[in-house]
């Protein structure tokens, strides 16, 4: 008898009938595939049956991604776990692992109450009790906030639809600031993005900002710098502008738009791949990249692709999908980016000179319809993320905390999330996540988080900015936000 037929009869590989049914996988409906091929043993909600539950953290053969892939692909016949490697490709097995993470994470979230603080309500986190209060109300999709060095407690907030407002002494000043670009693509994911002051702002007054430039050829992220005078942006200079043939028409997604300066005064900014996946690997195009310039827009001579024929010489790193967080560790000078995955696979990356971060060749995410994207999560010559999140959180603004109001948060990394509606704290050591905590969840989509000169944290919600400060000792602690273990590296 043929060996495959013998194994089928013994029940140690999927039946030949299921082989034909599995072609329904090509519809990309990963939940249906689980229901058809896995639920009979593991339960329709992964709660367990003749085979163990997939919802707990008890794993006979390892719960990290590679162990799960191996379990599905090779099986464990001695435990009546069939091998699915003859039925599904490696890409398809990884999509099942992604789906498993989605269901497990939702289950864990449903079992644990996360803090959802209201005005002046005290919350106990792992290290500090804090309270949250509205600082500025009446905004419309605020995207970025920056505090201006110098006297007067001044700040600027940008709104996605193309306006910016000065804030003085905790009050938004009307009308909106003048002098911003007239042709901003604000549809879809387009808009007015990050704004940051020059490291020597008190000397030169420069403010740097990014936006989706609307052109006859399409749209692409642009960076400008201006000074602020009498309620208007003046002395404007273009720092980075893509060539006309690099503009993307017919799509309004993945612009990136974050800006950061390093300790040496170099300017970094992110551009998403604009929905053109293969462009992220193409060094002749600016999208899907982190860029590095002198503060006036000149190309640094030591940029990694200077002298490469056809390459965009401002490129610092490539293989990025949609980086919407960018931050420099003030202690080490290390640059980190936070970028959206598709369905799953949001990433935190340690951004290094000339490195390839893999998109779309490697990813921990799958298509939105549940079908697989990449053959693998690893490939030689491509970087692994510091950590990643499945399901996707819609990761966004990112900053290191350097204030004094929360001493046990000093130097920790904080980030906002859109679809997850979370504020998270990460502790890094030697480029690895050693602690991770959800500070609060479920009070609205968070676009950005930044530390203020007063030591408070400021988070941007859909119509307001909230200020996070230590809770008064006399206030009763109302809720506890549970810590999440770091994802296995």
Q: For 347, how many CA atoms within 13 A lie in the half-sphere containing its CB? A: 27
Q: Given 376, 392, 408, which residue is the final one in a domain?
A: 392
Sequence-distant (≥ 6) Cβ neighbours of residue 111 within 8 angstroms: none
Question: Same domain for 356 and 230?
Answer: yes
CA distances from 451 to 14, 80, 410 (A): 55, 54, 11
How many other CB atoms are found less than 10 A from the CB of residue 202? Answer: 11
Question: Same domain for 63 and 152?
Answer: no
Question: Same domain for 43 and 164?
Answer: no
395 membership: H or E segment, kind and range:
strand 395-400
Question: Same domain for 241 and 379?
Answer: yes
Question: Same domain for 335 and 258?
Answer: yes
pLDDT of residue 37: 82
Question: Does the residue 486 lie in any domain?
Answer: no
**The domain spanning residue 372 has which CATH number?**
2.120.10.30
Question: Does the residue 417 lie in any domain?
Answer: no
pTM of the model: 0.89
pLDDT along the chain (489 residues), means of 10: 36 44 52 81 84 82 86 84 84 86 82 86 94 97 97 95 96 97 95 98 98 96 98 98 95 96 98 97 98 98 97 98 97 97 96 98 92 90 97 96 97 97 96 96 96 97 97 55 47
Question: Same domain for 147 and 80?
Answer: no
How many domains are contained in the chain?
Answer: 2
pLDDT of residue 134: 97
Question: Same domain for 161 and 86?
Answer: no
Question: Does the residue 186 lie in any domain?
Answer: yes
pLDDT of residue 94: 84
pLDDT of residue 2: 37
Question: Beta partners for 429?
Answer: 432
pLDDT of residue 15: 46
Q: What is the dihedral of CA 275, 266, 325, 159, to 10 degrees?
A: -80
Give the residue numbers annotated as catalytic, written as ranges.
Answer: 254
Q: Given 111, 146, 174, which residue is the final one in a domain?
A: 111
Contact status, residue 149 vs residue 201, Cβ threshold 8 Å: yes
Q: Is 110 exposed, middle or buried (0-12, 13-18, 19+ CB in 10 A)?
A: exposed
Q: Identify which of 243, 253, 337 has the alpha carbon closest to the alpha carbon of residue 292.
A: 337
Question: Same domain for 272 and 333?
Answer: yes
Q: Where are the alpha helices (DSSP H) in 154-312?
A: 201-204
Question: Same domain for 103 and 161?
Answer: no
Question: Same domain for 157 and 34?
Answer: no
Domain that holds residue 93: 3-111
């Amino acid at each position: 008898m043929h060996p495959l037929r013998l194994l089928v009869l013994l029940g140690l590989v999927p039946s030949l009938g299921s082989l034909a049914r599995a072609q329904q996988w090509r519809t990309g409906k990963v939940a249906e595939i689980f229901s058809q091929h896995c639920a009979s043993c593991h339960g329709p909600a992964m709660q367990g049956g003749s085979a163990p539950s997939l919802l707990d953290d008890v794993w006979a053969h390892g719960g990290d991604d590679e162990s799960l892939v191996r379990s599905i692909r090779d099986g464990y016949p001695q435990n009546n776990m069939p091998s699915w490697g003859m039925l599904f490709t490696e890409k398809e097995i990884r999509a099942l692992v992604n789906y498993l993470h989605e269901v497990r994470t939702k289950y864990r979230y449903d079992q644990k109450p996360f803090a959802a603080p209201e005005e002046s309500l005290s919350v106990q986190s792992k290290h500090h009790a804090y309270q949250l209060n509205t600082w500025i109300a009446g905004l419309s999709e605020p995207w970025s906030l920056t505090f201006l060095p110098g006297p007067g407690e001044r700040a600027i907030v940008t709104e996605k639809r193309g306006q910016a407002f000065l804030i003085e002494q905790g009050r938004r000043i009307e009308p909106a600031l003048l002098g911003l670009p007239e042709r901003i693509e604000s549809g879809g994911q387009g808009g007015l993005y990050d704004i940051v002051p020059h490291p020597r702002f008190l000397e030169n007054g420069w403010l740097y900002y990014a936006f989706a430039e609307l052109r006859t050829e399409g749209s692409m992220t642009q960076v400008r710098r201006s000074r602020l005078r009498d309620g208007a942006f003046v002395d404007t200079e273009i720092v980075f502008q893509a060539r006309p043939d690099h503009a993307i028409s017919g799509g309004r997604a993945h612009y990136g738009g974050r800006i950061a300066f390093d300790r040496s005064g170099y300017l970094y900014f992110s551009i998403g791949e604009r929905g053109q996946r293969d462009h992220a690997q193409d060094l002749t195009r600016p999208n899907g990249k982190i860029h590095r310039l002198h503060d006036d827009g000149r190309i640094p001579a030591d940029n990694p692709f200077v002298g490469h024929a056809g390459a965009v010489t401002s490129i610092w790193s490539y293989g990025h999908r949609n980086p919407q967080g960018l931050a420099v560790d003030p202690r080490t000078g290390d640059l980190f980016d936070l970028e959206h995955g598709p369905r799953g696979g949001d990433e935190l990356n340690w951004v290094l000179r000339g490195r390839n971060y893999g998109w779309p060749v490697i990813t921990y995410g799958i298509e939105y319809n549940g079908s697989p994207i990449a053959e693998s999560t690893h490939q030689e010559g491509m970087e692994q993320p510091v950590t990643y999140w499945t399901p996707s959180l819609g990761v966004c603004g990112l900053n290191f905390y350097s204030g004094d109001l929360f001493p046990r948060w000093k130097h920790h990394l904080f980030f906002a999330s859109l679809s997850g509606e979370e504020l998270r704290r990460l502790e890094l050591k030697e480029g690895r996540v050693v602690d991770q905590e959800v500070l609060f969840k479920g009070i609205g989509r968070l676009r950005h988080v930044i530390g203020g000169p007063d030591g408070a944290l400021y988070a941007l919600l859909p119509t307001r900015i909230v200020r996070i400060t230590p809770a008064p000792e006399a206030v009763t602690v109302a809720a506890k936000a549970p810590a999440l273990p770091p994802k296995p590296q």
